[in-house]
Structure 1
Amino acid sequence: MASQWYSLLSQKLYLAKALLEQRAALDNAAEAPPPLLTEALTQGSVELLLRARQTLLVMIARHHQHKQASPSTLDELRALLSEDAYEVTALNALAADGHSWWSHLIQLERGQSQPPATRKSVSADNIIAISAETGPDRSATTLAKTRSALAAFAQELEEQNSEW
């Protein structure tokens, strides 16, 4: 039987998937979608993924019998458990890998929780100024890959815990 926390995490991931599917459908539509709708679907799916990540940390704490703990960061989970716990070791490895789903979520959180950078206007003084959009990849495809990787990780942990 799945834990309540795994069920909540799965719900967040399912809702994110629904938003990402709508976003992908808009991206493939014949007409250009309204930017407001595209941004709302993107930010909504990112927020659900971030909430799922936080729920994952609480789920791991519950697996280790910490009934009242609600870690919201990997550092808090590490302090609660130990550096040697399988989940902490696995998440540390993901955090160290700049191309992992964990790192992508950290980049998304940073990008979504700060105001956009101000851009210089083009003038005679800075005619060669080039402004490239920086930040994490927020495409529907990349967000879906991150969602799938998080789902697979959570499912693996839940299956391991249910064997006990």
Structure 2
Amino acid sequence: MSHARAMKFSLYGLEALNERRALIASLAQRGHNLTPAEIRQLRRALFEDEAASHDEIAALFDLERVQDSPCAEWTEFLIECVTDHVVWQRRPTGVVAADQAEWLLREADRCRPLTAVALLANVLAEAHRTPEWLVGAVRQRVQAPEVQAALAREA
């Protein structure tokens, strides 16, 4: 007996509910900066039924890397999704384990410097407990010349 997959409408046509990662990957393949409307659609797709999976968060990092000048809504969305996944969706909640922190640093290091620092700082702010070395690793990234230069440009 075959089971029909639940379908929903998106900006890109009908999408199977269990193909959220494919939606993210298709956006990454397009290689363009997402619009606020696309980000709202992506938000609905990821949070409509359940929290984003680890694979979906990894795909969001891929999507982050293909955008050359993302809008503020994208950065806020990425930070929210990753923080929710790392801090609140794993058990025990509020605790970032060492292996999760290592993965997060690897992924963040492949993002734009200001996005990476904002993301890491948000995780530190929301988590109740993190590995002690994570604070030093984030501090080191904040003090990096490219981050300091980007902050100076933003001021």
TM-score, normalised via structure 2 length: 0.28
Task: Tell which has more relative contact order, 1 or 2 (C-alpha 8 A, sep 6+).
Answer: 1
Structure of greater Rg: 1
- More strand as a share of residues: 2
State the TM-score, normalized to the length of structure 1: 0.27
